[in-house]
Structure 1
């Protein structure tokens, strides 16, 4: 399996792990601090897993909160650059906080 296949597999696993049970409906498995996000491993698999988690989080958040396709006007590299900038300014925040801020900005942009 190539690197793309591994990243796709990890992204699928992350997405399925985000489906909440009743007991942990508001728990975000895989969330990390912005400081951890900025200290990226040289391991492409770990980078892909973190990016896949964030994109999955954004997709789930968009589906749960709006009927708007929040991610349609932007591409993944632009989203990753936005998260990098947010995390540099807010290293103590969680990635889920960055996702909420990005989601709000995209909603404003689409309305």
Structure 2
């Protein structure tokens, strides 16, 4: 019941868009910046922001799936590749929005 209520609150907060609290750090940068840093090999801070965001989701929302939470069997390289594809397809977006979409995809994968 608690997880359902918290999940509902998070979904409502995310749907408010501009009314939600501002995102800080690398998640607020652009997908163009993500791709540039990946090409330059200077993406560690951005990738760690994404991993931390997903880890925070696991800590506060979903710590199921055999101790790996929503990560499931995903590894760091897989997360980075997913974000590369997301940012290539959504150049006007940002790592925060990509991370939210990645969490949703990982949640769907963990149900199978």
Shorter-normalised TM range = 0.5 to 0.7
Give me the whole-angstrom Cα distance separating, in 2, the residues matched to 1:77 and 1:65: 23
The reply on whether 1:83 has 2:83 as its aligned counterpart is: yes
Q: Does structure 1 residue 66 correspond to structure 2 residue 62?
A: yes
Q: Is there any run of 5+ residues in structure 2 with no aligned partner, and where? A: 1-19
1:36 is the counterpart of 2:33: yes
Correspondence for 2:46? 50
Contact 2:30–2:92 under 8 Å retained in 1: yes
Which residue number corresponds to residue 5 of structure 1?
A: none
What 5-or-longer segments of structure 1 have no aligned partner?
A: 1-24
2: CA distance, partners of 1:74 / 1:91: 24
Runs ≥4 in structure 1, deviation > 2 angstroms?
25-28, 61-68
Residues 62 and 103 of structure 1 are in contact (CA less than 8 Å); yes or no, is this contact kept in structure 2?
no
Task: Return the structure number with greater helix share.
Answer: 2
CA distance in 2, matches of 1:26, 1:47: 25
